[in-house]
Amino acid sequence: MKNKPAYAIASVDAALLLATLLQQEQPMRVTDAAGRLGVSVSTAHRLLGMLVYRDFAEQLADRRYGAGPVLRRGPVQQASVATLREAALPHLRRLVDALGETANVMVLTGSEVRFVATVECDHVLRVGDRTGRTLPAHLSSGGKAVLATLDGEQLAAVLTSLEDDAAVRLDRELRTVRRRGFAVNDQQTEAGLTAVGVAVPVSGGFAGAALSLAAPTARYSRERLPVWRAALAEAAGALARDLATT
C-alpha cells in the first residue's frame, strides 16, 4: 500500500490523476473532469489545457477530452526509453558541437514519433527543446526515416490512416528515403523549421528510434545535406553500438 507523500503537491496530483482517468476511461467533458477530481470547472479546464500542451490529452471533435499520444500505447519498448535517452545524449551533444544546430532523438509510437531528448544549439534563433512532444511520423524527418525501415505490413498500418493522395505521396517519398538513407522535413510540421533525420539501426533489442538535426529554414541550405547526413549516420551507428552493450 502506498502512502500519500507528506508534502504532496495538489496540482501535480490532480493532473496525474486526470491523466490516469483519461487513459483508463472513456473521453470526458470538462464538467465530468471537475466532478471526478472535486475541483472547479475552471481548474479542470486549466489542468486539461496543460495535459493537451504536453500531449497527455487531446480535445476531440465533440469537445470532450481523451487520452493523448503519450498515453496511447504503441510499438515502442517503453522500459528502454530511459536507456535510449542516456545513450543518445552524448551523441546529440557532439552533433550540436560539430554542426551548430539543435539535435533530437525520437521513437516511433504507432503513427507518431515522440521526442525523447533534445540538445539545443547556442544560436539566438534556434529550434527549441521538443522533449516529450509528438509529431505525425509521416511528416517529421525522423518519423519518415523510421517508416522507411518498416516491413510492408507495419507500414500499411500507418498508410491506412492517411488520405489516399497522402498515402501515395508518402509511399513515393519513402522509396527516396530508403535510397538516400535520410529524410527531410521542410516546414511540413512547422513553418520556418527544416529538419533532417536518419533511423538508428536496430540494436540491443531496441527498434524504431531516429536522430534528427533541426534548424530555422532561413539558415538551412541544400549544400549542408551531405555533411548533415554523414554526421547523423555516424552518430546513429555509434548510438546503435552503445545500445548493444547496455
DSSP conformation letters of 191-241: TTEEEEEEEPPPBTTB-SEEEEEEEEGGG--GGGHHHHHHHHHHHHHHHHH
Q: Is 67 helix (H, G, I), strand (E, B) or coil?
A: strand
Reply yes or no on whether the pLDDT at 229 is more than 70: yes
Same domain for 67 and 83? no
Same domain for 29 and 110? no
| Residues 66-70, mean pLDDT to the nearest whole number | 83
Q: What is the pLDDT of residues 136-184, one digit of tens each?
A: 999 999 999 999 999 888 888 777 878 889 889 999 999 999 999 999 9
Supply φ then ψ for residue 131, to 5 degrees: -55, 130
The model carries a pTM of: 0.71
- pLDDT confidence of 7, banded at 50, 70, 90? very low
User: Which of 53-62, 90-99, 208-217, 231-240 has the weakest average pLDDT?
Assistant: 53-62
Q: Is residue 3 part of a domain?
A: no
Q: Is residue 142 part of a domain?
A: yes
Enter the DSSP assignment of 2.
P
Reply yes or no on whether the pLDDT at 75 is more than 50: no
The reported pLDDT for the residue numbered 73 is: 55
Q: Is residue 5 part of a domain?
A: no
- Average pLDDT along the chain: 87
Residue 26 CB contacts under 8 Å (≥ 6 apart), including other chains: none
Question: Minimal CA–CA distance to 182: which of 215, 227, 216, 219?
Answer: 227
The reported pLDDT for the residue numbered 9 is: 75
The reported pLDDT for the residue numbered 76 is: 43
The reported pLDDT for the residue numbered 200 is: 96
Chosen domain end from 54, 71, 88: 71
- pLDDT confidence of 106, banded at 50, 70, 90? very high
Contact criterion met (CB below 8 Å) for 51 and 68: yes
**Edge-to-edge strand order for the sheet containing 209-216?**
134-136, 112-119, 102-109, 209-216, 193-199, 183-186
The reported pLDDT for the residue numbered 61 is: 81
Q: Is residue 87 part of a domain?
A: yes
CA distance 63 to 27: 10
Q: Is residue 230 part of a domain?
A: yes
Same domain for 65 and 156? no
Instruction: Identify the CATH number of the domain in which residue 38 sits.
Output: 1.10.10.10
CA distance 195 to 171: 19
Chosen domain end from 71, 105, 124: 71
Q: Is residue 39 part of a domain?
A: yes
Q: Is 145 helix (H, G, I), strand (E, B) or coil?
A: helix
Residues of the chain above pLDDT 90, percent: 50
Q: Is residue 1 part of a domain?
A: no
Same domain for 135 and 216? yes
User: Which of 8-17, 35-44, 73-82 has the weakest average pLDDT?
Assistant: 73-82
Same domain for 65 and 82? no
The reported pLDDT for the residue numbered 6 is: 53
Same domain for 116 and 222? yes
Q: Is residue 2 part of a domain?
A: no
Question: Minimal CA–CA distance to 133: which of 210, 55, 74, 205?
Answer: 55
Chosen domain end from 71, 93, 109: 71
Same domain for 15 and 84? no
The reported pLDDT for the residue numbered 93 is: 98
Provide the domain count of the chain: 2
Same domain for 57 and 140? no
Instruction: Identify the CATH number of the domain in which residue 234 sits.
Output: 3.30.450.40
Reply yes or no on whether the pLDDT at 231 is more than 90: yes
Reply yes or no on whether the pLDDT at 22 is more than 50: yes
Which residues span the domain enclosing 223?
78-244
